[in-house]
Every structure is written in C-alpha cells, then in structure tokens.
Amino acid sequence: MSQQRKKDHLSLIGKSIIKACQQDKRFHYEPLFSSPGEVQDCDLSLNFLGKHFAAPLWISSITGGYQEGEKLNQIFALLCREFELGMSTGSIRPLLNDSKRKKSFDLRPLLGKERPFYLNIGIAQIEELLASKELARLTDIISDLDADGLVIHINPLQELMQEEGDCYKRAPLSLLEEFLVEVPSVKTIVKEVGQGFGPRSLEALLHLPLVAIEFAALGGSNFAKLEMQRRESSAFLDWQNLSYLGATNEQMLNCFKRLRNSSENMTRCENIIISGGINSFLDGFFWLERVSCPALYGMAQQILQWSLEGEKFALERMKNHIWGLKIAKSFLSLNEDELG
C-alpha cells in the first residue's frame, strides 16, 4: 500500500500545485490545536427554533407542489432526517385551492417529529387571506401537515417582473403586522427571494415578533432575474439592471449587528438564517463565525443540484459537506485583517 501511495504521489505531483494567488484569504490555517482523530467528534450542534440541529444548515423553500417536485421534497426531508437539520417547503399556495396537492408537502412522516419543519407562503397570499378573513384556511394547513410554523416570502421585485405576477396592494410591513396580530401563535420566519433586505426593512423586521429572519441576500439565485428571462428579450434588456439591486450578506450582517448592539433599539427577533451565494462549507463557516447569535446558513441551489442527481448522490454530498465543516471548525480561524 505504501509503495502504491508513493507511486501515486509521483504521478500526481505536477497536478497538485496550488499557487499563492489562489489562497483563500478569509481564514488562518492553524494546524497545531486539533488532530485528525478529533475531527469526527467535532461538535457542530446547536438549538435553533426550539429544536436540536446536529449541524447549522437549513434547507430553504426550494420547490412547491408540482408533480416533479414531490420526489425532490422527499429527498430534502430525508437529508434533514439523516443529518438532523431543518427545512421549509416551497410555496404551499397550491394547497389553498386544491387539497389534493397535499402529498407533495406531507413530509412530517418522513422527517420525524423532532425535525424543524416550516411551510412557505408568499406575502401576496397573506394579503388575500387577510382581506377575505380566511386565515383559518392557512392555520388549518399548518396543523394538518404538523408543521412547526410558517415562512413568509417577500418578493415585490419578482412579482413585478412576472407577466402573471401578483401585484398586492398593501405594503408588506403592514400585512406582516396585521398577520402577526391575527395569528400570534404561528411561529413565523420572513425571507426575501434573492435581493435581501435594506437597512430600513431589516430594522423593521427585527422589531416584529418573528422567530427568525432569512436574508436570501443578493449573491445567489435571483428570482427577479429568473422572471425577466422568462419574458420577451426586450423586457430583459430594458430591466436587467434591476436584478443587480439589493443587499449582500455582508451588508445585512453588518446592519444586523449594529441594530442589535444599539442601546436605542430593543430588537425582538434574535435569530437569523444567512443565505444567498453560499456555495460551500467554507462559505457557511465564514458567515457563521461572524455572528454571535443563534444562526444557520442555507445553500438552496447546491442542495437542489445534489438532489436532482438522486437520493444516494445527495446523501453522499451532504455527508461530505458536513465533514468539511468539521474540518473547518477544527483547523481554521477568521483572518480579521482581511475583514477590515
């Protein structure tokens, strides 16, 4: 075995060069304080949303109730159960009008009772249910699917880019405030869909009785751009610069810290899910190391790509991802000089 290893080294050495300019400057590598044998026992666990997570990952609102999405949702639920994570579904809007679509969202039996499980709905549907005084339809679905709570997505730019978009009439903040008064028992998370939240919006959310805020920041999947690409080319050419607007994780996290540390602000929401442009365990580790509150990270695009390859592939990639996160926690620290 040793002879083969040496032979491999000699044949691969030319392909194994890393140039100094390729250094990931976000981190210091510190090899003296942990051993390879300790990596397996590295503890990534935390309590979030009142439940135990074995690792700080969130599978966030990827797909809703269309036929091909049913198998994907089952794979997401399996990943959550196997690695003790949490998830939210895609939009349950189809269920509001057709109870036969329930199967795609009925994931609690696969997840198990202990896994955090949230449903997702748009702010446009919240406006409709408030106006018709039919919020009970929504709370009945939450109860029927044995979900822990609700994720409400805020997406005005996406709606405006859709030819069939929902142009809700009231400002999202007003709708959220009324919703939270009407159904205070529903644990509620608010997220964007790829543009993030500016300072005023983030401050307003922090003062609401939410259980968490998901950034869904600029830098990852962008649903405004996606909707533009579905339209005629002239609309995309005229409006494409709108997709570059928004707030990055860096901007939102700095704002979040500033607001929480201000003696003038008594924030009510203390938990965050950092998402938008997180593509690896090093990205996730980087952001989590920069917060001092309960936090998770989401990387919907990567998890979707794994799951499209099938259950076995997704399980293997998630296993490798979490192992990489343990290595990072064992041997890396933030390079504060690079953070400024």
- In the predicted model, residues of the chain with pLDDT beneath 70 are 1-2, 4-16, 64-68, 163-166, 223-224, 231-237, 263-265, 340
User: What pLDDT, on the 0 to 100 scale, is given for residue 103?
Assistant: 87
User: What pLDDT, on the 0 to 100 scale, is given for residue 5?
Assistant: 60
Tell me whether residue 86 is exposed, middle or buried, using C-beta atoms within 10 angstroms of its C-beta: 0 to 12, 13 to 18, 19 or more. Answer: buried
Does the predicted model carry a pTM greater than 0.75? yes
User: What pLDDT, on the 0 to 100 scale, is given for residue 11?
Assistant: 63
Those residues with Cβ within 8 angstroms of residue 190's Cβ, 6 or more apart along the chain or in another chain = 151, 152, 153, 154, 176, 205, 208, 210, 213, 214
Phi-psi label, residue 277: left if phi above 0, alpha if psi -120 to 50, beta otherwise: left
d(CA 238, CA 63): 29
User: What pLDDT, on the 0 to 100 scale, is given for residue 165?
Assistant: 60
User: What pLDDT, on the 0 to 100 scale, is given for residue 97?
Assistant: 85
User: What pLDDT, on the 0 to 100 scale, is given for residue 15?
Assistant: 66
User: Where is 62: in which H helix or E strand?
Assistant: none
Radius of gyration of the chain (CA): 21
Q: Which domains does the chain have, with CATH numbers?
A: 33-339 (3.20.20.70)
